[in-house]
Structure 1
Amino acid sequence: MGNGGDARRQMGLPGGGLMYVITPQAILDFEEGTKRMRLKHVIPPATLEEIKGNTGFELVIPDYLEELPEPTADEIEVLRNRVDRKGLLRREGL
């Protein structure tokens, strides 16, 4: 298994790999050079400590973290009725 950087190329894998990882608690991306996973946005009501506790490795945490606004009613409708019809990604309270 690779360790960031140019690991995909070394393993002969095509393409550039993932750009973002989106979870119910956070949006993450990857540092340009090292390809280490970096926390980009916290999704309320999650906290930084919860996100760290749910991650099995050390994240890159920037000095400034932007908290995303609560989803609008229209966004929730799209998520529930088009994206996640079975409710697999649904959190309590949404």
Structure 2
Amino acid sequence: GLDWARVPVPVTPAAHYLMGGIVTDLEGRSSLPGLYAVGETARTGVHGANRLASNSLLEGAVFGARAGDAIATDAASGLWPAEARDGISPV
């Protein structure tokens, strides 16, 4: 095993979370009809410059539920493009 008292432990910077990149509204809708994003893939604007520690699990649950409701509503109302309604198509 490693003797932590005698052997230096290497420490290096690493990216361990993402602040999102897909701009969404508070229901997870993006600017591309039929594309929704939640959690660490979405930039909702709720965090500012940095996220609070341990908030990502709760954020995923809350915004996942909101996006799920929006997806169900949008699908039923016909707001999705034909490609999204009819199945898989090239992007």
Higher relative contact order (CA 8 A, sep 6+): 2
Larger gyration radius, structure 1 or structure 2: 2
TM-score bucket (shorter structure)? under 0.3
TM-score by length of 2: 0.27
The structure where helix makes up a greater share of residues is 2
TM-score by length of 1: 0.27
